[in-house]
Structure 1
Amino acid sequence: MAEEALERYLLLRTTYGDLAFTKLDPKNPTMQELLNLGYLFATPKRDALGRRVIVARPGVFHPHKFNNSHMLQIHGMTYETLMEDEENQVRGFVHFNDGAGVSFPHLTLFTPKEAVRIVKNGERTLPMRHKEVHIINCHPSVKYALEFGFNLVSEKIRKRIKLYSSIEEAHKHIDKSLLPKEYGGEMPMAEMIDLWKKELEGNAHILRKNDELLRVRPELFSESAREGAVRALKANCGRLDQDIMAGSFRKLTVD
């Protein structure tokens, strides 16, 4: 199981590298703008179980200014940086999502097929343990899309997703001291973002090195596997040959 998970991850990095995983640069002007907006960042403190908290604010992502590749790149940069810490791989992650400002144009950034592949591969392929998902400010107009996403993930992950009608309700389930001051915490969001930017920049050389080390020969996989098709997730990664891996990988924990 670990070998197959590793192969899936390396294949995903290889085939979707230019879109999400390779040449990641936190100092890229577009990435800097998204970071300053607070679109996606990890808070500095760990929770009582030692897990990092990832804050997502998709409403500040302007769909007429940024494209889906920008979205994939900042997610790739965030997750790849966090996964370099072995403690994060073992303990997993808590996600805090604020849906304020999300509207129909956001839903058009990806086609339904792309959205399905992103959700399925996000759960099955990325070596991340998604332990809790907290969501506030989900506008009724986009709830149908959220429900569509719920139907794509496993029952295990679905049980870990919680929707709240207010931030006060969310505080009953997540330690508010972990969150930015704007969400009831103690440290202003701008300070958290500055700390996160420094963490990204401190790991940028590792991300660049991964471009050389973490890869496979894509021609040894089926076309559906290279495309990240859902059906390929059910059949031995679509591998055509047993001897396919090149590079290195620190540690993989299967949740």
Structure 2
Amino acid sequence: MTEGVGFNYKVPSADKVPEIYDDAMLEMSDFFQNIAKELGEDEFIREQSIQQLREWIAKHPHIKRCRTDAPFLLRFLRAKKYSFINAAKTLESFLTARTKHRQWFNNFDIDDPALADLVDTSYLFPLPRLDSKGRVVFFICSSKFNPAKHTIISPIQLIHMMGEIYYETQEISCAGCVWIFDMEKTDKRVLGMITVQDIRTLTDLVNTAAAARIKELHFINTPAVFRTIANLILQLMSEKIRSRVFCHPSLEDLHSKMDKSLLPKEFGGELPMAELTANYKKLCRKMRPRLLAMNDMEIELVDNPNDIWTNYSGRLEDGAIGSFRKLQVD
């Protein structure tokens, strides 16, 4: 469990028009309140924007079930710096992704043998403290993925599961996150387990449906065979994400860019991966009911040429989002 992060274990409702809206939020320190202000947030804007998103959800003809609790909606508003149109667009894409790609976005269950086994290997875990900018740092050891034992679905699920645990906490929805990928000794058979179309779809999801403030992506020990794939992925990413990618030729170079003490002991830090993994697994278990409740959200998939999911160049004036353009918050 990461120090400095306040987790909410309550299971939220997926009723798109509940009798009483859930406005409960954990308090933030002055440090994170100042970050929120930099995103354009104050008490009035926050309350007005949450209300506008709730009205949009209630009137959306294709959204069947969706959370409307304040922490969930703030995740989208803060990620888009309180642009209502962009927040609504991302929420619609998020729901579409969950409905269209259930194999990647549903059943985040630490009791699932495949997911539990991969977590136990220390495939991914959060680092013990927030960094100096208040961001959570996630660490992935790609070599822990065994193609003979795991399907490619499991690591994709686990990455999204990590996000669902952290992205709507007050601290991380404001300050964002950092990802570190250790690519050393990654099994080459992984390349045969994922198609080019899968890569395109996953990068589209990051570009359009990730309600997260992804601040930095660090790669270390990347074998030459994976650099071609990495370059393809980077070409598909948004320019903003590409500008936040750092490829390190050595562990020492990573140390020059990041607080060394945060890292696992095996990478020059203080706490061993086994301890960080055990703490993370306890958090996954505490969050399990909340994570499984994500399965309840759903949007009707429609064949609409102006739908932002199938036509990103479509005019925002068209469709459900366009009808709420007047609610734009500058």
- One-letter identity of the residue aligned with 1:235: G
For residue 216 of structure 1, the aligned residue among 275, 289, 299 is: 299
Matches within 5 A, 1:238-249: 242=320
1:222 and 1:240 in contact (8 A); partners too? no
Q: Does 1:106 align with 2:190?
A: yes
Q: Does 1:74 align with 2:153?
A: no
1:101 partner amino acid: K
Q: How far 1:216 sits from its partner (Å)?
A: 1.4
Secondary structure of the residue aligned to 2:150 is coil
1:120 and 1:179 map into 2 onto residues whose CA distance is 30
Q: CA deviation at 1:104?
A: 2.9
Pairs within 5 Å for 1:124-139: 124-139=208-223
Q: Tell me if structure 2 keeps the 8 A contact 1:164–1:170.
A: yes
Distance 2:305 2:291 in 1: 27
In structure 1, the gaps of 5 or more residues are 244-255
Equivalent residue for 1:15, pick from 100, 125, 131: 100
Q: Which amino acid aligns with 1:50?
A: G
- Please give the residue correspondences for 1:18-167 in structure 2 after superposition, counting only pairs within 5 Å: 19-167=103-251
Cα distance in 2 for partners of 1:94, 1:155 equals 17
Give the match for residue 4 of structure 1: 89
Change (3 A) 1:154 1:80: same
Contact kept? 1:221, 1:241, Cα under 8 Å: no
> 1:221 Cα shift?
4.8
8 Å contact from structure 1 (residues 38, 60) kept in 2: yes
Task: Work out the CA distance in 2 between the residues paired with 1:86 and 1:195.
Answer: 20
C-alpha RMSD of the superposition: 2.3
The answer to whether the 8 Å contact 1:98/1:137 transfers is yes
The residue type paired with residue 270 of structure 2 is E
Q: Return the offset for 1:236.
A: 5.9
State the shift of 1:234 in Å: 3.2
Structure 2: segments with no counterpart, 5+ residues: 1-85, 322-330
Give 1:167 deviation, angstroms. 0.6
- Residue 124 (structure 1) shift: 2.1
Structure-1 separation of matches of 2:268 and 2:143? 19
Tell me, in whole angstroms, the C-alpha distance in 2 between the residues paired with 1:224 and 1:113: 22
Q: Secondary structure at the match of 1:233?
A: coil
Paired residues of 1:22 and 1:211 also in contact (CA < 8 A) = yes
**1:119-139 alpha-carbon deviations (Å, 9 max, x no partner):** 121232110111011111001
1:169 Cα deviation from its structure 2 partner: 1.1
- Secondary structure of residue in 2 paired with 1:45: coil
Aligned mates of 2:305, 2:137 — CA distance in 1 = 36
For residues 175 and 213 of structure 2, the distance between their equivalents in structure 1, rounded to whole angstroms, comes to 7
Larger Rg: 2
CA contact (8 A) 1:13 1:215 kept: yes
How far off is 1:223 after superposition? 8.8
Give the superposition deviation at 1:210.
2.2
The TM-score normalised by the length of structure 1 is: 0.85
Measured after TM superposition, the shift of residue 185 of structure 1 is 0.5
Cα distance change of structure 1 residues 221 and 176 upon mapping to structure 2, 3 Å threshold: farther
